[in-house]
Amino acid sequence: MKWLIAQFRRRLVSILMLLAMAGIWQILSTIYTAEAVPGEPMVPGWQIVFSRTLLSLSDYWQGGLGVPSVAEGAPQSYLAALLSILDHSVDTIVRLYVGLLIGGLVGSLLGMAVSWSPWTRRIVDLPVQLLRTLPLLAMVPMFQLWFGIDFVGKIAFVGYGVGVIFFAGVVNAVKNVPQIYIDNARTLGASRLQIYRTVVMPAIFPEMRGTILLSLGIGWAAVLGAEYLGAQSGLGYVIIYSEQFAYLDRMFVVALIFVFYASISYAIFDRLSRRLLQWTPQAGRVVAHG
Amino acid sequence: MAQRFDVLGLIGLVLLVAVWQLLTFAIPLIALPHPAHVAERIGEDFIVADYLLFYGLPETGLLDSMIYTTQNVLIAVALGATVGTVCGLVTARFDLIRAVIDPVLLVLGTIPILVLAPFFLIWFGTGRTSAVLLVAIYVAVILYIYAQRAASTLNPVYEDAAYTLGASRRRVVWDVLIKGTVPQILGGIRIALAGAWGLEAIAELLGAQQGIGKIVQVLAGSTDMEGIFAALLVLGILAVVFDAFTARFFSYVSAWSVEARTGGG
């Protein structure tokens, strides 16, 4: 009971804190009234964000579903704004998850293949370290040239970014599987393939949790990066267009949408992984040393 | 955890270059430059890169850009690590403060740099401040999580033993809490440092006067793949070298810790 109250109090303080942050933003917007370009405050207050800015997002609606686009001469409307947010979000999210899936699969498979023997593992160690340090987002121009600026280019970019993380994560996790598990299985007559399927794969999953969380973050960054240069849709495209005209308020709304999506995807993953990891002895606890 | 140099790693690097070389036969040179050409390019552009003058940049080269980028990364890591560690340690012991700081830092941490960067560029301009602050934020979030976890998983026996022996609160904080969490915090700094190079590069790419990211940005405009490869490779090497040195240094500093001595960690 006491624990429950403490938990509740913590939640409450967190919510209050978020409200306080929103309040501080509002106060900043009244104190700091400088404008990036005429009519565009550097710190857009909430009264602007929820009226003018939200309406202005309908500029990015390309028409359809009986709701005419602003480009066709229709006035700005909240319905078009909502549709445009949904439309661009779907584009971005599809790119993100297709890329995540492909990158995760390819990266994990390659990682397992390399972990087959300690020799190959040692050989790929340094090259992978180098590949990992190459700044992903600075490589967008290359991927555009290699795969084009359409769907394939973006998927390839997200896939690469996520794939490298997964690859490194799997190699590292396999390395950390206690040798005694493998020795035991081998003593009982398991083949290498069997060991992989029944010992190594379940054993690395708990450690892969961190990797998957990291790759979610990288994936969001990568899909934005891919949209940054030469996309015709998606949240990244909206940000770029807004930035070119210094529409700070629109950028702010998209940033909020991002925080919303990111928090949801983290929360879902957290739930899911907790359920999947129920069988481990330390489920839900941070693994201590020793 | 002292890392010994693995000769096999060198073979891996050679293999990587060999694969790259093989790929150049299949992919046109404009998309994938020759490894030898890229190496040559690094040599040519190292002190003064002529082409940068055409883009309106002052006379500069890869070396100057490397120095600029490195300075920014180090300042940002120092700043972010200090803030993140202090907040992390404090919040591990005081629930109320944790409830206050957790949402702020964790929300900031989930915003991709590409979303955050435009704001900073408009607010603080395209100088050093924007890039350093941006990188520092992400470093702070990483260190916050690391320090918090280190302090909350620190075996309570240590603190209890110190109190039993009559240590003052201040001494417990200094001798147990801080020293006990140092190995894990250093591990966090290493991870943050490794990521900081990429963040700094992207911050420069979006808007800066100089730096490796700036070079990539200029060259991307004219799809000069050779130059982009050269700049990225230099940055990668820089990051690997710095990582190797910090790993050495950190394992020396935390040589006394249980994890280091038992080889775990």
- Mean pLDDT over A249-268 rounds to 84
- pLDDT above 80 (res A108): yes
Nearest CA in chain B to A36: B122
Q: Which residues on chain A are in Cβ contact (under 8 Å) with B97?
A: none
- Beta strands A40-41 and A35-37 are antiparallel
Domain assignment of residue B145, given as a range: 7-262
| Residue B32 located in a structural domain | yes
What does the alpha-carbon distance between residue A81 and residue A87 come to, in Å, rounded to a whole number? 10
Integer angstrom CA distances of residue B251 from A199, A260, B78, B186, B246: 32, 39, 19, 9, 8
| Structural domain count of chain B | 1
Q: What is the reported pLDDT for A23?
A: 86
* Confidence band for B4, pLDDT divided at 50, 70 and 90: low
B259 interface with A at CB cutoff 8 Å: yes
Window 39-98 of B, Cβ < 8 Å to A: 95-96, 98
Stronger pLDDT, A8 or B135, i.e. the higher one = B135
Q: Please give, rounded to a whole number of angstroms, the shortest distance from the CA of A196 to a CA of chain B.
A: 24
| Residue B160 located in a structural domain | yes
| Residue B232 located in a structural domain | yes
Stronger pLDDT, A5 or A76, i.e. the higher one = A5
What does the alpha-carbon distance between residue A194 and residue A185 come to, in Å, rounded to a whole number? 9
* Confidence band for B261, pLDDT divided at 50, 70 and 90: low
- pLDDT above 60 (res A65): yes
Q: What is the reported pLDDT for A68?
A: 67
- Tokens coding B126: 């395209």
* Confidence band for B185, pLDDT divided at 50, 70 and 90: confident
SS3 state of residue A233: coil
- Mean pLDDT over A272-282 rounds to 74
Architecture of domain A86-276: Orthogonal Bundle (1.10)
A145 interface with B at CB cutoff 8 Å: yes
- Tokens coding B51: 């082409």
Closest CA to B198 of B89, B91, B117, B90: B117
| Residue B155 located in a structural domain | yes
What does the alpha-carbon distance between residue A69 and residue A130 come to, in Å, rounded to a whole number? 47
- Mean pLDDT over A114-130 rounds to 78
Domain definitions of chain A by residue range = 2-57, 86-276
Q: What is the reported pLDDT for A288?
A: 40
| Residue B1 located in a structural domain | no
Is residue A103 a contact partner of residue A109, using CB atoms and an 8 Å limit?
A: no
Nearest CA in chain B to A176: B264
What angle do the packed helices B225-253 and B212-221 form, to 10 degrees?
Answer: 160
B263 interface with A at CB cutoff 8 Å: no
The CATH number of the domain holding residue B118 is 1.10.3720.10
| Cβ within 8 Å, pair B112-A217 | yes
| Residue B99 located in a structural domain | yes
Q: Is residue A214 packed enough to be buried (19+ CB in 10 Å), middle (13-18) or exposed (0-12)? A: middle
Stronger pLDDT, B170 or A102, i.e. the higher one = A102
| Residue B2 located in a structural domain | no
* Confidence band for A74, pLDDT divided at 50, 70 and 90: low
| Residue B210 located in a structural domain | yes
Question: For the segment A152-172, what is each residue's pLDDT rounded down to a tens digit?
Answer: 888 888 999 899 888 888 888
Interface predicted TM-score (ipTM):
0.73
